[in-house]
Structure formats: structure tokens, C-alpha cells
Amino acid sequence: MMIATEHLNHGHDAMDHGWRRWLYATNHKDIGTLYLFFALAMFFVGGIMALCIRAELFQPGLQYWQPEFFNQLTTLHGIIMVFGAIMPAFTGLANWMLPLMLGAPDMAFARMNNWSFWLLPPAAALLLISLLVPGGAAGGGWTLYPPLSIQSGMGMDLAIFSIHLLGLSSIMGSINIITTVLNMRAPGMPLLKMPLFAWTSLVTAYLLIAVAPVLAGAVTMLLTDRHFGTHFFKAAGGGDPVLFQHIFWFFGHPEVYIMALPAFGIVSQIIPVFARKPLFGYVSMVYATCSIAILSFMVWGHHMFAVGMPATAQLFFMFLTMLIAVPTGVKVFNWIATMWQGSMTFETPMLFAIGFVCLFTVGGFSGLILSIAPVDTQMQDTYYVVAHFHYVLVAGALFSLFAATYYWLPKWTGFMYHEGRGKFHFWWSMLWFNVTFFPMHFLGLAGMPRRIPDYALQFTDFNAIASIGAMCFGLGQVFFLFNVIHTIRGGVGPAPSRPWEGGNTLEWEVPSPAPHHTWETPPDLATVQRGLRAQGLENDE
Ligand code: HEM
Ligand SMILES: [Cu+2]
């Protein structure tokens, strides 16, 4: 079948130019680029909101914003970072890299791919426009809990429609990823030998297809409660606001793995390359990924300990949550074992990958602490939680995205980035990230609530430190932007097709920058097998 298609590839499309190239894009690399730039832009929009929050919290008292607007800032910051920055960035990477790594000519459904991307800008616009409508944007937190989300103004409606669009986009993107991974791998690459990033993308896509409709359902029920006389969540009409929390978190906990699993995949690609050793425990990585995905559907109640539930339910959610530490521990163990006795070098992608392993583990441990039901009833809604999830989202998801960017920039642009500047970006981010978020553990333990624009005097010092850290961290990301632009415009010179000595996956077999069309004929069996052997995935044949 593969051989027959070879003849069909002559005289393929001439590339559109100018805006048409992007608006009508069907090429996986162009769409990947669109996703990545969109995510980058949203990262800065959400980042500016974070800095507005931290500016207000620099001192006790109200300095800059009215409390209502402060709440809108935290809500939009959360929604924009989760749905606008982290998730689209991973989809962008999957678009760019999966066909290259699997030896496929493109994603399976090229036109649907275009549509998946172009739903995102209107969704972002709805969120930003909502700042200008009467009553302002949604302010009830990214979790959109009723009754607040039923009572608030039309900013909430815009947020709901935005989430509908984002969900549609995610579902279509996932269909594409699943079909591509399952059907379009090069001959000679069975599922259990494909790059780990393909595995985590595949499992993530299944998670998204399972839970994006759940979120869409929850917000639609909110919408009908708001405007069409239903009472799903309205206690006055016999409904139950706690029902919303169940539905939301049935989506919400798998969602955190939607932001974590692709990061695991990226780190599992990068560490072996810079340790110059095969990934330790490939198959156990795959099983760990699947177990985490399955368990993620059974732990949503850990977000609701403080709501009140039977002791048996508390125990159920508590122990299942703790169980997730087992496959996660397998992963951390495997990454360390991969580095063990490797001949490691510490280029920027590796630094971010190791930073990921260290700090994600910190976030994992604070999560484990929060999973203890009696502890959580104390810590719920404090800054301890804010510290916890930023360790997994910023030092986790975001750092893995930085690692991926430096790792694949040479393939994307054809140029090498400036290593010294990359390292500076890493150490700067590492330092100020911890200055920002580590003190938040102490604040939370001392009882400082989250989502509040003012605080008691005894919290002043740590808040000042966190705010200074955040400003410096933010500045460092402008430097990152500068690094990326510098590389696009030539960097420190042209990149070879295989800039990393240990890079043995298929994307390093094509020139840098990757031509517009690659693998129109699948890579030959010998190439595939040489790569697999170099990755320690011996061929059984
Ligand atoms: C250095 C960058 C960042 C800083 C300084 C920062 C800071 C903050 C602050 C101050 C809050 C409000 C806490 C509160 O009052 O409750 C917050 C909330 C939040 N942040 Fe970040 N953040 C950053 C990056 C990110 C990233 C990359 C994500 C990725 C997903 C993220 C996700 C969230 C979420 C989900 C919330 C909860 C919003 C809510 O309470 O509804 N943040 N962040
Ligand atoms: Cu959870």
C-alpha cells in the first residue's frame, strides 16, 4: 500500500504564499507553527495577567485593582494558561513532530487540522473581549463553580462559548493525532517501538476525547441554568451546585494529565539523547503512561474533600490518588536510571529536562501531601495549592515546552540557537521560579487564602519575595522570546540535519530546516531499524 502511493506524489501542491499560506494551511508543519506562535502569544497575555496579580499582592491593602477585577485576572490567567498556552503548545509540537518522528507525510486529516487551529483565535478573542462587556470577564475562578457562575454577568457567557470552541478544537486535534499515530507509522515501527512522545500524545488524545465533552456538557448546563430556566445547579429549583463540581473535576483531573503526559514524553525523548544512552525501561514508561491515564479518571474527588463526603469516599479518593505516585515514580526512576553512568552533556534542552525532573517531583510530593484528606481540609484554597500546581504546571509543563523548543528549534528554523543565552534563560528561570513559588508553600501553610486581592499583615514578607520573583521570571521570558527570534533570523549559524549527537529518532534523518514536505515516501526499513537499534529498541525480526 505504501509503495503504491509513491507514484501519486509527483506534482504535489505548489505552496500558497502570504496570508493564504496560513489561513488555508493544511501542511502539518505550518499548522504546528501556527499553534506554537498562538501558544507563545497566549503565554505572554496570561503572563501579563499573572504579573498584574503579583503586583497587587506585593503589599497588603488594595493598590491597583478593584477586587472584582482582581478576580477576573486570576480567572482569565488560569483559563488562558491552561487552554490557550500549554495545551495548544503541545498540540503544536504534536503537529510538527509526530509525522516527522513516525515517518508519515502529514497528519491524517489535513483540512480538519486547519479547522482545529483556526477555532482557537476566536476563542481567545471571546475571552479577551469579555473584559470589556458590562460586569467584566468571568471572575469565579477557572473552575467556574456555581452559584457564582450562574449569578455573574455576560462575561461568563463569553467564557462558556470560548470553552465550547476550545473543546471542539481539542477533540478534532485529538482525532487527528490518534489516527496519525495508529495508521501512519513507517513500516517497521510497531506501536511498542515508536518514540515515547508519540505514545504520550496518543494517550493524551484519548484523554481529551473522553473529557472535553464532559466539560462542554458542564458549561452548557451552566448556560441553560443561566438563561433557559433549568435548575441543574440551582438549589432554589431543586438542583445541586455540588453536581457541577463532580462534573467539572471528572474533566479537571484528567485535564492535569493532559498537560503533564506530553511533558513526560518530551523529557523521555531528550534525556536519552544527552545522556547518550537508550531510555531505561521503555515498556514500563508506556505502561506507566497508560496507568496514569486510567487512574486519572478515578481521583476527581480529591478536589472536593472539603465539600463533605462519606468517609469511605474520602478513603477511596485518597488512596487512589496516592496510587498515581507509583507509575509516576516509575517514570522518575527511569529518567534517573537513563542518566546513570551516561556520558551526559548539559545543553539547554537537557538542562530544562533535568530541571523538569527535579521540580516536577517537588510538585508531585506536595500533591501527595494534599491528597491526604484531613490535611487537604486544612490546605484547600490556600496558597499551598497555588504553589503545588505551579510546580507541576510551570516547572513541569512549561519547562518541558522550553526543553522541546530548544531541542527542535534547529530542525524548525535550520539555525542553531545561542547556547550561552539558552543556558542563561534556564538558570534565570530556575532561580526566579523557585523564588516566586517556593515561599507560597509557607504562605499557604500559614493560612493565606488564594484568589484574594488583600491579605493579613503577617503574610507581607513572603508575598513581597514572591512578587519580585515573578517580575524577574517574567523578564526572563522576554529573553526567551528574544532567543527564539534571534534563532529564526539566523542564530549562531546553520544547523546540521542532526545537531544532537545522540539524536536517533526519524526527525533527525531529514534536513534542517525540515523541508515543507517530508516522508512523502516512507523511510526505508533499514533507516527505521538503525534508528530503533540506536535507541535500544532491538528489532525482533
Ligand atoms: C511565572 C508565571 C506565573 C505566575 C507568576 C503565576 C501566578 C499566579 C497567581 C498569582 C495566581 C493566583 C493565585 C490566587 O490568587 O489564587 C495564579 C493562578 C493560576 N495559575 Fe498561574 N502563574 C504563572 C504561570 C502559570 C502557568 C504557566 C500556568 C499553566 C497552566 C498557570 C496556571 C494557573 C491556574 C490554573 C491558576 C488558578 C486560577 C484560579 O484560581 O482560578 N499559571 N497564577
Ligand atoms: Cu486532581
| Overall average pLDDT of the 255-274 stretch | 98
Q: What average pLDDT is seen over the chain?
A: 95
Counting ligands in written order, which one lies closest to the CA of residue 401? 1
**From CA 502, how far away is CA 505, in angstroms rounded?**
9
The residue whose C-alpha atom lies closest to atom 22 belonging to ligand 1 is 50
DSSP 250-285: HHHHHHHHHHHHHHHHHHHHHHHHHHTSPPTTHHHH
**From CA 129, how far away is CA 139, in angstroms rounded?**
14
What CA–CA distances, in Å, run from 73 to 99, 360, 466?
38, 26, 17
Please say if the pLDDT value at position 70 is more than 60: yes
| Overall average pLDDT of the 28-51 stretch | 98
Q: Is the CB of residue 398 below 6 angstroms from any atom belonging to ligand 1?
A: yes
Q: Is the CB of residue 75 below 6 angstroms from any atom belonging to ligand 1?
A: yes
Catalytic pick from 106, 347, 507, 509? 106
The string of pLDDT tens digits covering residues 33-42 is: 999 999 999 9
The string of pLDDT tens digits covering residues 313-354 is: 999 999 999 999 999 999 999 999 999 999 999 999 999 999
Please say if the pLDDT value at position 7 is more than 50: no
| Overall average pLDDT of the 76-92 stretch | 98
Q: Is 13 marked active-site?
A: no
Nearest-atom number in ligand 1 for the CA of 470 is: 5
What is the reported pLDDT for 14? 63
Query: What are 247's three cell numbers?
Result: 462534573
Q: Is 106 marked active-site?
A: yes
Element (H, E) at 470: helix 460-488
Element (H, E) at 26: none
DSSP 146-165: TTHHHHS-THHHHHHHHHHH
The residue whose C-alpha atom lies closest to atom 35 belonging to ligand 1 is 78
Please say if the pLDDT value at position 4 is more than 60: no
The string of pLDDT tens digits covering residues 155-199 is: 999 999 999 999 999 999 999 999 999 999 999 999 999 999 999
15: confidence class by pLDDT, cuts 50, 70, 90: confident
Query: What are 277's three cell numbers?
Result: 544512552
Q: Is the CB of residue 78 below 6 angstroms from any atom belonging to ligand 1?
A: yes
Q: Is 7 marked active-site?
A: no
**From CA 328, how far away is CA 292, in angstroms rounded?**
7
The string of pLDDT tens digits covering residues 131-155 is: 999 999 999 999 999 999 999 999 9
What is the reported pLDDT for 82? 98
Query: What are 444's three cell numbers?
Result: 499557604
Q: What are phi and psi of 139, to 5 degrees?
A: -130, 10
| Overall average pLDDT of the 88-115 stretch | 98
What is the reported pLDDT for 450? 97
The string of pLDDT tens digits covering residues 305-319 is: 999 999 999 999 999
Closest residue by Cα to residue 160 from 199, 123, 195, 202 = 123
DSSP 371-427: TSHHHHHHHTTBHHHHHHHHHHIIIIIIHHHHHHHHHHHHHHHSB---HHHHHHHHH
- Cβ atoms within 10 Å, residue 433: 23
| Overall average pLDDT of the 362-371 stretch | 97
DSSP state letter for 458: G
| Overall average pLDDT of the 493-519 stretch | 97
Calculate how far, in angstroms, residue 184's C-alpha sits from the geometric centre of ligand 1: 38
